[in-house]
Amino acid sequence: MVETASLFTETQLIVAVSLAATLIFILGVPIFVVIGMWIIGISLVIDFTLANLGVTLFTGLSFFGLLALPLFILTGDLINAAGIAKRMSDFAYSVLGWLRGGLGMATIGACGLFAAISGSNAGTTATIGSIMHPEMKEGGYDERFAAATAAAGGTVGIIIPPSIIFIVYGFLLNLPISDLFIGGMLPGALMVLAMMTACFLVSYIRGWGHVIKFSVVNSGKLALKAYLGFIAIGLVIYGIYSGAFSPTEAAGMTVGFCLVAGVVITREISLRKLPDVLLRSGQITGILAPLIAVSVVMQQILSLLGAGEVIGSWLTGLGGYYTILLGCMGMVLFAGMVLESLPVTIILAPILSPIAVGMGVDPVHFAVIFLVGAAIGFVTPPFGLNLYVASSITGIPYFRLLGYTIPYLIALLSAWFIIAFWPPLTMFMVNFGGAG
Amino acid sequence: MADTTSVTTSLPIKLLRWVDNNLEKTVILITYSAMAGIICVEVIRRFAFNVQAPWSTSVPVLLFLWVTWIGAAYNVRQRTHLSLNEVRLRLPYTAQFCCLILDAVLWIIFAAIVIVFSTEQVTLAYDNFAFVDGTDNIMQWWFYLATPLGWALIVYRVLENLYEDWQAFRRREPFNLQPSLLE
């Protein structure tokens, strides 16, 4: 009786700590601190020593594989500074500009190409958005739609390989990162196609955008100008497909290539400019890596609290295969709406993946389903990171962008359902020649 | 005479200002370049010449700790850690200031705990005379020190920001609530 009463009190206290954490999150306290405070609060309630925090801040980050994260952030900044991203965007426009909404579609296509070298959603939105938003605005599009296009296009940054979140997911669940990368290829392409269709339909209905004449010669010339970008993409794909390099080594090779390309070939990266590029990547790493470390501790506590069992029994009580998969997808989508994708992945993936795999979903397929859901969270309120980045680069207030993301959200959700309920889309490339 | 005094007193101040403006940037540049450089060179050596330094997978991991925690301090100073600021932007001015004080208090509580427990880990590595894998003379605690030092720097930057906010509050100037990562 006494035990039941004390257990009840403990549950109440856990709820109180979680509500307090939610309150400070709403008040604008950084997510990193919110998670830290939740950990400290819960450690006062349950038997969890804070010494674990000290240990995990070292061990949670001490994996060679995790180094692909800062390196793939750096490749994105290097190809931008080297002018390669701009050349790839010009090429995408030359190919798609003859269609109504071609410039918007080119923005999404350029996001896809950029994502194939870099591994970050925010980096993709920031880089391609900075290049394409002014052009879309001048090209007869509503500026809010143009910003929403860059934000939505950036979602593929973590699905088309390389991807920093696939790396984290692979480490958490002990899955071959190369297989995850390969599994993300076709779903990423489907997301690009779905968003391009949405862009075409909206532009067609609204009459937005000027149409240019398609020229094979011009497209060929621009493709040649963008050749460095294609070599970098080839390097990444060769590295992860052949198994010749680990993802971290592939990232190191791509960094080396992009640096040489920018300094020696395009000569747009001067030695004076290089520290700024490194510092920018260091700053992004200084935001994401601490989030990984604290999220690992949060996951440890949730595991101690038996969150996996509670969610597992709730989900399995829902019914069969499809219902459980839909339940998992709903949880990922909801978590992605309120949190950044790294904490979402670290906290939820170890709980949901065993449930889905137990139901017969392939672990690589579920990883892709999970991360596409987390990526959709980048353009959903209240916490849509890509929308913040797009707002930041365009100066358009965050809330004014929301309405213009709806067509893209519909497209992304449709693509997500196809990815989830048609496993061959993900598994074909993995089975065809996965390195794992 | 007066000029000489002003020169001698201004030099240390100039130096301190330089350190204040550039400390994190310098550490990030050195550690990030070293980390990326080691991985890039070693993968080329392995691929082309079939040789690789035994420490090439352990030292970059430890350099990453420096990039992470000094980078975290840099983001505190730049106020660029991810947060949901839509509600805060719509709060009255005094409530916004209270939120900034709340931020500072929470950062300091968090930092105090991390510094205590991460220092224990550094001490442990120091007492155990632990070497970095693949080396016989590079101590692990040199790299582990990044965590308590980075967090001490976080506390300093939090206090610096709080002082700026206090000054802005006294002058009734708007707070820097929407900093851009791209600046």
**pLDDT tens for each residue of B92-101:** 999 999 999 9
Give A25's contacts (C-beta < 8 A, 6+ positions apart).
Answer: A31, A34, A338, B84
Q: Which two tokens stand for residue A2?
A: 């006494």
Q: Which residue of B has its CA nearest to A21?
A: B106
Please, what is the Cα angle at A403 between A397 and A406, to 5 degrees?
130
CB B49 within 8 A of CB B132: no
CB A409 within 8 A of CB A347: no
Burial category of B172 from C-beta neighbours within 10 Å (exposed 0-12, middle 13-18, buried 19 and up): exposed
The confidence band for B114, taking pLDDT boundaries of 50, 70 and 90, is very high
| B144 neighbourhood in chain A, CB within 8 Å | 58
Give the C-alpha separation, A313 to A47, whole Å.
24
pLDDT given at position B183 = 54
pLDDT, averaged across chain B: 90
pLDDT given at position A436 = 44
CB B100 within 8 A of CB B175: yes
pLDDT given at position B181 = 65
Tens-digit pLDDT profile for residues A367-403: 999 999 999 999 998 888 899 888 878 888 888 899 9
Is the pLDDT at B47 greater than 90, yes or no? no
CB contact under 8 A, A382 and B86: yes
| CB crowding A376-403: b at 16 or more within 10 Å, else e | bbbbbeebbbbbbbbbbbbebebeebbe
CB contact under 8 A, B47 and A244: yes
Give the C-alpha separation, A192 to A173, whole Å.
27
Give the C-alpha separation, A362 to A321, whole Å.
13
ipTM > 0.85, yes or no: yes
Please name every residue paired with B139 in a beta bridge, in sequence order, or none if there are none: B131
Please spell the DSSP secondary structure of B158-178, one letter per residue. Answer: HHHHHHHHHHHHHTTPPP--S
pLDDT given at position B2 = 47
Tens-digit pLDDT profile for residues A297-351: 998 898 888 888 888 888 888 878 889 999 999 999 999 998 888 889 988 999 9
Of A74, A284, A392, the CB nearest to B36: A74
Tell me the residues of chain A between 67 and 86 that have a Cβ less than 8 Å away from chain B. 67, 70-71, 74
Whether residue A147 lies within 8 A of chain B, CB to CB, comes out as no
pLDDT given at position A2 = 42
Please name every residue paired with B131 in a beta bridge, in sequence order, or none if there are none: B139
Please spell the DSSP secondary structure of A52-116, one letter per residue. Answer: HHHHHHHHTT--GGGGHHHHHHHHHHHHHHTTHHHHHHHHHHHHHTTSTTHHHHHHHHHHHHHHT
Is the pLDDT at B5 greater than 70, yes or no? no
Radius of gyration (C-alpha) of chain A in whole angstroms: 22
Low-confidence ranges of chain A (pLDDT < 70): 1-8, 433-436
| A37 neighbourhood in chain B, CB within 8 Å | 106, 109-110
Tell me the residues of chain A between 10 and 39 that have a Cβ less than 8 Å away from chain B. 24-33, 36-37
